[in-house]
Amino acid sequence: MLVSRADELDRAVIEQLARGTCRVELSPALIAELSANRQAVLADLDGDQPVYGVNTGMGAMAGVRLDADAQARHQDTLMAGRAVGSAPWLRRDEARALLAARLRTFLHPAAGVSAELCRSLIDLLDHDVIPAVPARGSGAAGEIIPLAHTGAVLLGTGQVLDAAGHAPDAAPALEAAGLSPRSFGPKEGVAFLEGVPGLTGLAVLHAAAVRTLLTQQIAVAAAAHAVVRASPDPLHPALADSDELGTVLATLLELRGTGPARALQAPVSFRVTAPALAVALRAVAALEAAAERALTAVTDSPAHLDGRFVGTAGFAGTDLAATAGALTTALAHLADLGTARLHRMLDPAVTGLPRQLSDSPGLHAGMAAVHKRAVGVTHRLRRFTLPALGGAMETSLGQEDVQSFGFEAAECLGEAVTGLRDVLACELLGVHQAFLLDAREAPFGEVAAALPPGTGDRPFGRDLDRIIGLLAEGSLTLHVITA
């Protein structure tokens, strides 16, 4: 893909770069713009005015002026003392997302970096030389620690993440790829450490995963409604208070199929499913909007604006951390509901099917232990719903006295995605078992093809692993369930 304008490197392209399904090249015109902007930055640096992180120290050392010799080394040495992280590392696709988001933010004129630095990031992506980026322990007001690890790879002093998850030295990996280490030019080192490209890239990946997961959740919830023959009353279109809820109501009503309700009112977990899904849809849209803002915003500090170097809050991930936290809570609530729906499906008074969805109650446990697994996963998710924004602690001798803890927010969201998928697999297995016991065609052909035949007890954990794999791949076809 030839990128002629910065806005062409949008969320969709960031996701593709993260997954290694596309390559980008900067157009000659865009390279010329970057070069012209870089020359303006260098011209404005040519003087005696203090510029944070360029001819001064950083953080509590901002008052220390650097001589010419120190300035020549400073942009590289910024990486060394800040690369203090270690395993666990971001996954390779997550680290690729960081590189892609960093490239996008460097296309903003305020960053003032060279076209050569942008090309170096593209080279890492093209040759799949992926930095080993610590996933935890980033207690700075921004992402200085993980970004220092990323920048150290360009210098040849960092570590890369291989296919086995090991983190060997970067220099041999660069050499094997035909790449050479490069130094950071004036102000490029401090620019590299600013902003929240890691959290931005993670938000892009998590939002895409959530979109798929919510589509699957709607389909499975509709099938669960069909199992208990829940009244369609709570799905009436007049109850829609938003576009999101209207879409969920219409989809659930269509997919659940026709047929008489078994009871006047279904359990509450069924009746409130649609509003909870609408909340999650609004939350993921808010995270996507925050990611868009982060990709297009001024992330550098100091930023080059109107010929001056201006201190900013571009390093703060407050917007992304807050929206990621809200989405985490919404997903955890969906896990609560899925676990409750599965429990109701074990009750013959609700379904008219054998107790615990067992083909031989008393001899076989049926889905009872599957539900217990869902309970354990759902309980675990509760610890991740505490907002990451809370808990500020002073660092840098008080120069940094607030943090957004963006990587922690992303980690919590990732756990919520994984946990909800696990709970969804449990509910889906329960739905599959219910349809077989009711002598009805299994609602999801991909699941039926992946599982052993029959309804007798077996090591259901293997079934759940297969279903989780299908969900992660996005392999779940939605169709109308016949009565």
Q: What is the pLDDT of residues 123-132, one digit of tens each?
A: 999 999 999 9
* Residues 185, 225 within the same domain: no
**Domain final residue pick, 193, 216, 240:** 193
What's residue 365's pLDDT? 96
Instruction: Tell whether 172 is covered by a domain.
Output: yes
With cut-offs at 50, 70 and 90, classify the pLDDT of residue 314. Answer: confident
Q: Around 276, how many Cα atoms within 13 Å sit in the side-chain half-sphere?
A: 20
With cut-offs at 50, 70 and 90, classify the pLDDT of residue 479. Answer: confident
DSSP character at residue 187: T
State the CATH number of the domain containing residue 298: 1.20.200.10
Which residue has 């593209």 as its token pair?
122
- What lies within 8 Å, CB to CB, of 266 at 6+ separation is 225, 228, 230, 231, 234
What's residue 477's pLDDT? 81
**Tokens representing residue 449 in the block:** 């093809």
* Residues 298, 189 within the same domain: no
Mean pLDDT on 296-325: 92
* Residues 336, 216 within the same domain: yes
> Could you tell me which of 187, 190, 136, 128 has the C-alpha nearest to residue 153?
128
Between CA 324 and CA 390 the distance in angstroms is: 13
Cα dist from 284 to 11, 205, 209, 321, 322, whole Å: 13, 11, 10, 13, 12
* Residues 170, 294 within the same domain: no
Look at the chain and report how many structural domains it folds into: 2
pLDDT 10s digits, 46-98: 888 898 888 898 888 878 898 888 888 989 999 988 999 999 999 999 999 99
What is the H or E stretch that residue 325 is in? helix 318-345
Whether the per-residue pLDDT at 389 is higher than 90: the answer is no
- What lies within 8 Å, CB to CB, of 417 at 6+ separation is 206, 209, 210, 213, 331
pLDDT 10s digits, 165-218: 999 999 999 999 999 999 999 999 999 999 999 999 999 999 999 999 999 999
Kindly provide the b/e burial profile for residues 111-141, where b requires at least 16 CB atoms within 10 angstroms of the residue's own CB. bbbbbebbbbbbbbbbeebbbbbbbbebbbb
Q: Which domain range does residue 327 map to?
A: 201-473
Between CA 465 and CA 468 the distance in angstroms is: 5
End-to-end CA distance of the chain: 48
50 neighbors 65 (Cβ within 8 angstroms): yes
**Domain final residue pick, 152, 174, 193:** 193
- Backbone dihedral angles phi then psi of residue 159, each to the nearest 5 degrees: -125, 150
Instruction: Tell whether 67 is covered by a domain.
Output: yes
* Residues 112, 258 within the same domain: no
With cut-offs at 50, 70 and 90, classify the pLDDT of residue 482. Answer: low
* Residues 287, 368 within the same domain: yes
Instruction: Tell whether 38 is covered by a domain.
Output: yes
Cα dist from 375 to 338, 371, 472, whole Å: 10, 6, 21
Alpha helices per DSSP H over 107-143: 115-126
* Residues 26, 61 within the same domain: yes
Q: Is the peptide bond before 260 cis (omega within 30 degrees of 0)?
A: no
> Could you tell me which of 85, 88, 66 has the C-alpha nearest to residue 77?
66
pTM: 0.95
pLDDT 10s digits, 97-138: 999 999 999 999 999 999 999 999 999 999 999 999 999 988
Whether the per-residue pLDDT at 480 is higher than 80: the answer is no
